[in-house]
Every structure is written in C-alpha cells, then in structure tokens.
A and B are shown apart, each in its own frame.
Chain A
Amino acid sequence: MELVRAERRDEAIALILGEFRRKVFGLAYSFLRNREAAQDVAQDVFIKVWRALPGFDGRASLSTWIYTITRNTSLSALRAQRPQSSLSDPDVMAAVDATDDAPPGDTVVEGALLQRLVDQLPTKQRQVIMLFYMEEQSHEDVAAMLAMPVGTVKTLLHRARARLSAAAVK
C-alpha cells in the first residue's frame, strides 16, 4: 500500500505478481479448465489490479480483493466461451458415479485417468481439490479463494476425495 501511495505502481504490481501469480492462475484454471484461457484471465486480472490499485482503499484484504477480481473475470471469460464439447467418457463417468460403499483397495489410478476423474467431479468439488493440492494450500486459503466458509471447503474436499478414492478402486 505504501508503494501505491507513493505512486510506485509498477513496483507494487511486481510484488503482487510474485505473491499471487500462481494462486490467480490456479483459481482461474479451476473455473476454466484450460491452461491458455486461464493464463489469459490471469493476465487480465493483473492488468485490472494494476489499473485499480490507486483506488484500492485497503478496506478488504489485498488477497480478498484480488480473488474477487479473479473470480469475476473467470466467470466473464467462462460466459464468453462457446459451449465446449462434453468431457464425459462413459467409462470414467461409470467410475466416478460409483457408490461410496465401494470396497477399499490399493489400486492406484494412472495420472491421466485421475485427471479425467477430477474433471468429472462436480464443479465446486473439482475446484476445491485442485486448489488444495496445487500449492498444498490450507483450508482457509482455499476458502478465501473461493469465497466460501472453511467448513464447506472441508466438506467438499472430503466428498471429492471419497469419490475419487472410490473411483480409483473401481
């Protein structure tokens, strides 16, 4: 904030970039599920942050502010995108839709299959799983990024893991 007040916006944005680059990209990716689109959104977010920095009054924390911009920009980009073809794969869907009482086992799914299983999770569960494991974030960090209560994040994470675990066993 001192840098912004001192009209050293470029230095401020460099610091912000170092701290939030991956988080902003990850959050955008969790919405868009496309690396290029997420990078474009992340760029737009930092441009918006740079433009709006002089007006940032510090009432909300910097991270809350940046995550809000990221979510809004991601949703706008998502709306602007043409409807994409479904990722659903009958085998994957069958595995993901497996009941929670599937017998436990030690089967480990391959990376590609795991990625597809994650893709098939309900949106919120997918976002939580991705953000939680992307940078080994805390529940609180993920909650701040997605603007949801910590308890909800824990529940979504638990359900997503149970679902993935069951699907992996299948």
Chain B
Amino acid sequence: MSTRDSKLDERLLALFRGLDVGPDFDARLMARLRTESQTDGRERATRARRQESVRHARALSDLQSWRRSMLRLLTLDTLGIGLLLVVAVVTAWPHLDPQVMDGLRQYGLPIVASLGVLLAAAALWMNRADVV
C-alpha cells in the first residue's frame, strides 16, 4: 500500500470513526419498547378475548344445530311410530313367554344401556360427519 493510500485510509477512518448514534438513543429505544410491551400485552389480551368469543359462538352454533336436528326428528311420523311401539309393547307384554320375561328382567338393563350407547355413538358420528 502506497503512502498516498495509507493517508487516504487514515483520513477515511477519521472521517467515519465518530459516526454513531446519539447519547439518548438507548433511552429512547427502551421507552418505545416499554410502550410496545404494554400495547403488545393489550393486543394479546384483545386477541385472546376475540378468539374465545369466536370459540363460544361456534360452540353455541353447534349446540343449536344439534337441537335443530333433534327437533327435525320430532315429526308427526316419528311421534306416531313411537306411540305405536309403546302400544305394541304394552299389548304384547302380558302374552310374552315367562322365560322371555325372565330373560328381559335379567338382561333388560344392559340391553337398554347398550342401545343408548349405540344411539349416542351414532349421533356423535353424524355430528362429526356434518362438521367435516
């Protein structure tokens, strides 16, 4: 490197050496960060509230759709079929074989419970199919 180049290097180093941020740079930045931090916390809380509200609305809507589908099932036809089934059971009950009666007494509860579980599972499966 020639003398001329090294002198130029020195001049350039001297020219840019003092180039730096002002003394209040860090203080200003920290003040802004504190403000940002508060805003950030408020924004996060607002966002969480909004998400929770959306979740709540969706759950309510799901519940209402479940109610609606149940109410749709309660037509005159289904009521009629149910009534006929009750009449059939009440009519047939005294004529049932005592062995069948004993069997029903013994296994009636598990059978009804199993039917309930099956119905609930079917309803859940239908609900999930609707969501997907």
Interface of A, helix, strand, loop or mixed by DSSP: helix
CB proximity to A under 8 Å, residues B1-53: 2-5, 7-9, 11-17, 19-22, 25-26, 28-29, 32-33, 36-37, 40
Which partner residue on chain B sits nearest A22 by CB separation? B20
CB distance from A111 to the nearest CB of B (A): 6
Q: Are A105 and B32 in contact (CB under 8 A)?
A: no
Q: Are B4 and A50 in contact (CB under 8 A)?
A: no
Q: Are A161 and B15 in contact (CB under 8 A)?
A: no
Which partner residue on chain B sits nearest A38 by CB separation? B21
The count of A-to-B residue pairs whose CB atoms sit within 8 angstroms is 77
Q: Are A165 and B20 in contact (CB under 8 A)?
A: no
Q: Which residues of B contact A130 (CB under 8 A)?
A: 16, 19
Q: Is A108 an interface residue (CB 8 A)?
A: yes
Q: Are B11 and A50 in contact (CB under 8 A)?
A: no
- Which stretch, A39-47, A71-79, A83-91, A147-155, touches the partner chain B? A39-47
> Size range of the interface on B?
20 to 34
Residue from A17, A22, A39, A43 within 8 A of B32 (CB atoms): A43
Question: How far is B40's CA from A164's CA once the two chains are assembled, in angstroms?
Answer: 48
Question: How far is B19's CA from A47's CA once the two chains are assembled, in angstroms?
Answer: 22
Question: How far is B40's CA from A51's CA once the two chains are assembled, in angstroms?
Answer: 9
Q: Is A19 an interface residue (CB 8 A)?
A: no
CB proximity to A under 8 Å, residues B56-104: none
Residue from A10, A42, A105 within 8 A of B33 (CB atoms): A10
Q: Are A47 and B32 in contact (CB under 8 A)?
A: yes
Question: How far is B11's CA from A118's CA once the two chains are assembled, in angstroms?
Answer: 12
Q: Which residues of B contact A94 (CB under 8 A)?
A: none
Question: How far is B2's CA from A42's CA once the two chains are assembled, in angstroms?
Answer: 37
CB proximity to B under 8 Å, residues A1-33: 10, 13, 17, 21-22, 25-26, 29
CB distance from A134 to the nearest CB of B (A): 4
Write 12 A-B pairs (CB below 8 A) sorted by A numbering: A25-B20, A26-B19, A29-B19, A43-B29, A46-B33, A106-B4, A108-B7, A111-B14, A133-B12, A164-B8, A164-B12, A169-B4
Identify the 8 closest CB pairs spanning chains A and B, nearest first. A134-B16, A133-B12, A133-B16, A25-B21, A133-B13, A165-B8, A43-B29, A114-B11
User: Given contacts A13-B33, A43-B32, A133-B17, could you give 5 more A-B pairs where the C-beta distance is less than 8 Å?
Assistant: A25-B21, A35-B19, A39-B21, A111-B14, A130-B19
